[in-house]
Chain A
Amino acid sequence: IAGITQAPTSQILAAGRRMTLRCTQDMRHNAMYWYRQDLGLGLRLIHYSNTAGTTGKGEVPDGYSVSRANTDDFPLTLASAVPSQTSVYFCASSRDRGQGYTFGSGTRLTVV
């Protein structure tokens, strides 16, 4: 089934630890995105990539990094997790600007 796979589904992480959230799509979409969803704040863009080999910062990039080595994968890394990074993280993709977005099922991360 074409779509986006995120892993893990959920994770409890000790503060200060490093964590990589994985995202893989099989639709050959050019653009990929990472969002976080928090109660009362809605969905906010963390980082994006318009095409393989390029990345950019969204609204809330601090504490996060991404890479886009190929079309299919767009991992999100928390170098040293803090409790304020407790959230639900969604990966998304679109063929190009002006095309619809497809979202993954999310990763629920709790930093303690």
Chain B
Amino acid sequence: KQEVTQIPAALSVPEGENLVLNCSFTDSAIYNLQWFRQDPGKGLTSLLLIQSSQREQTSGRLNASLDKSSGRSTLYIAASQPGDSATYLCAVTASGGYNKLIFGAGTRLAVHP
């Protein structure tokens, strides 16, 4: 059974720091991995999608890497800002069975001025 783990569960940093959020999954047979952002009381916003054949994706200050063989992904946030404060969720799509997105519990990020 695929399990997704995110470390740390919570993070509080001063503005301007570069951050690394970690995601690990137990079964390397995945279709893709997606990072989402969720603001309190809101829905999920897709940040980056990495296909299983890819190593990384970049969007602005965000960079996500994928090492499928070791079951790990990292989300790198450069020059963090207070507006980055949110919960970040990692999710994988299993390559077998039906099309199911399996989520980690998330990392709650607070960036203070």
Contact = CB atoms under 8 A, between A and B. Distances in A.
Interface stretch (A12-20, A62-70, A72-80, A100-108): A100-108
Interface string B40-83: 00111110010100000000000000000000000000000000
Contacts of A43: 89, 91, 101, 103
Contact of B101 (A50, A101, A104, A105): A101
Interface in A16-59: 31, 33, 42-43, 45, 48, 50, 56, 58
B100 A104 contact: no
Interface residues on A, range: 20 to 34
Interface of B: 31-32, 34, 36, 42-46, 49, 51, 89, 91, 93, 98-101, 103-106
Given A42-B103, A102-B46, 20 more contacts: A33-B101, A42-B106, A43-B91, A43-B101, A48-B99, A48-B100, A50-B98, A56-B98, A90-B43, A92-B101, A94-B99, A97-B31, A97-B93, A98-B31, A100-B32, A100-B46, A101-B46, A101-B91, A103-B36, A104-B43
